[in-house]
Structure 1
Amino acid sequence: AIRWLIQMTAVKSMSFGTSCGVAAIAVLLTSATAFAGNWPFNNRRHYFIAHDYVENLLSGVQPNGLLLTQDWQVASPMFYAQQIEQRRRDVKVVDVNLLRRSWYFDYLRRTYPDLIERSREKIEMFVEDLKAWERDPAEFKSNALLTQKISTAFLEMIQSIVTNESAVGPVYMTRDLLLPDTTNGAVTQWLTQSYQLVPHGLVFNLTRDSRFHDSPDVQLETRGLADGSVRFEKDDVVNLKILPGYTSMLINRGRYLAAFNQHARAIIAFKEALILDPNLAAAREGLAESTAKLPSP
């Protein structure tokens, strides 16, 4: 239809006014076609993914818990939920990456003064080094001793925060802290060597012992994530980070339950992962293994 309209505008016998009208229609049709083609990607009428993501994260965190993350896709919506919507202000959310910026400690002092006070000594030691680095990062880059000093102070601060907060409430972390990362590698190593990571919803609960920790299975809300009601480009953050976050934690939950012979519950977790992504080999393998270990009826 658009090609026909363009051809019509080229007909010499057509009046100037008619030609302009046809051209205008062609432009409108072109715009309408582009609009219709992109509508599934831009229509956010049923977009609940960010809201549900925060709710699912918080549903796995008990009252007065500490949540460690280095994922901005977690920290930013959580900040909005707590500071703007005033939801779950009891949860202490700490972005590990932002701890490398001195201004972030001003925010933490205002928001979580008790947390700062409980680890004040280690925090002040690190912030002193941090401000020195901010004044002259080149000096630290060229001095291995200074680099080692600030790295040690950072790790000791994290250790102090986690240890002290675990004395007053549960401590959690998001899966991104397990991903290969040279920046926070020492933190990840210490956490995994010092604590058992118990998958609960979209977070890991850190526990000192190795026994089985039972908890109600979290019912994750996943509206629009994989039901076809919202479409995403392949490079959309939903496909790259959010969806893998759900599926990997469901698989982790299934593996954890299976390790303690909770195979019926493990099967549920593996099936939920496959609903979101039917091509997950790890979920299929876990499902098959747990199914095979169920007692015969």
Structure 2
Amino acid sequence: DKYAYYLPVFISIAIGAGFGTRWLIQIAVKSMSFGTSYCVAAIAVLLTSATAFAGNWPFNNRRHYFIANDYVENLLSTIEPNGLLLTQDWQVVSPMFYAQEVERRRPDVKVVDINLLRRSWYFDYLRHAYPSLIERSREKIDTYLEDLKEWEHDPGAFARSQPLTQKISVAFSEMVRSIVTNEIRFAPVYITNELLAANQTNSYLTQWIPQTYQLVPQGLIFNLATDQSFHDSPDPHLQTRGLADGTARFEKDDVVNLKVLPTYTSMLVNRGRYFALFNQHERAIIAFKEALTLDPNLVAAREGLAQSTAKLPSP
């Protein structure tokens, strides 16, 4: 999304380059023949464009860019029919919107963005997309929506009033809790990794979810289990085309390096730790090695690999 904000700068540079080219042509006309001056100017413009093209091509070539497609496929391949996925990661929500609404892939999967639950218009979409989800938690949703619409009408009133802020926060937490507890009766509920990161807005969720459910790593997400026994899952066959194989290049601040790749590696580490917790160290080693394939310098994977290897029975 950042490139959209650069557009005014690009336009300004293009206009400046145009004036600069015109100025160079005028100078060249004074010092050489008309035809020669335009030939030199044309060559200069072409060389400048070619240099910019060559310098930016490796980062903008999308011929081998399968990151978003594989991300969605890896997620959907894990989720069971009619499952619910809770997330606040736009890198998940955005391609999921396209896959489900345009390509009509896995329309049975319910994807709910926790952040968008703070906008009343999002509930219109949820009513259309997942009417049964809304109906099962209607009481808590309606209560929260009343507070949310008041906040949208006058956010300053909530900023000035601690009781109002507390009221809407409690209503939000109770609504999310209702959605999870009601949906898990009918189909599995999953969450993405970043929901467990403590922050001011979702501190309740980061505490309530792991206290109430066992987090079972499955692929790139956690399955919320209602008991503490071991839950097996097939080994994930993650598609990682272009992610770390060198076929696509990314800048250091690209979202792939900042968010997507860490999701893959952290969930593989979580999978390894889960197996190690239940003394399945052979499978834990496989998960840790897969994480190191994507990021050879990942300390958590190296430590987990060493610990599980040390606990293997001697031959």
TM bin (shorter chain): over 0.9
1:231 maps to 249
How far, CA to CA, are the matches of 2:206 and 2:93 in structure 1? 18
The counterpart of 1:59, out of the listed 77, 98, 123, is 77
The counterpart of 2:163, out of the listed 141, 145, 149, is 145
Matches within 5 A, 1:102-181: 102-181=120-199
Are residue 280 (structure 1) and residue 301 (structure 2) matched? no
How far, CA to CA, are the matches of 1:294 and 1:19 in structure 2? 77
Are residue 216 (structure 1) and residue 216 (structure 2) matched? no
Structure 1 gaps of 5+ residues are 1-5
**Corresponding pairs, count:** 290
Structure 2 gaps of 5+ residues are 1-23
1:263 maps to 281
2:109 maps to 91
**Residues 190-247 of structure 1: per-residue CA shift (max 9 Å, x gap):** 1111111111000000012111100101110000000111100111110110011111
How far, CA to CA, are the matches of 2:35 and 2:101 in structure 1? 57
The counterpart of 1:19, out of the listed 12, 32, 37, is 37
Matches within 5 A, 1:26-41: 26-41=44-59
Residue 157 of structure 2 aligns to which amino acid in structure 1? E
Identical-residue share of aligned pairs (%): 76
How far, CA to CA, are the matches of 2:31 and 2:120 in structure 1? 73
**SS state at 2:112 partner:** strand
The counterpart of 1:70, out of the listed 73, 88, 96, is 88
**SS state at 1:295 partner:** coil
Residue 308 of structure 2 aligns to which amino acid in structure 1? S
How far, CA to CA, are the matches of 2:220 and 2:147 in structure 1? 34
The counterpart of 1:289, out of the listed 299, 307, 314, is 307
Q: Which stretch shows the higher mean deviation, 149-158 or 12-21?
A: 12-21
**Residues 35-68 of structure 1: per-residue CA shift (max 9 Å, x gap):** 1121110110111000000011111211110000
- Distance apart, 1:12 and its partner CA: 8.7
1:196 maps to 214
**SS state at 2:224 partner:** strand
Residue 27 of structure 1 aligns to which amino acid in structure 2? V
Could you list the structure 1 runs, at least 4 aligned residues long, displaced by more than 4 angstroms after superposition: 9-14
Q: Provide TM-score, normalisation by structure 1.
A: 0.94
- Distance apart, 1:23 and its partner CA: 2.4
1:250 maps to 268
The counterpart of 1:182, out of the listed 194, 200, 205, is 200
How far, CA to CA, are the matches of 2:139 and 2:207 in structure 1? 23
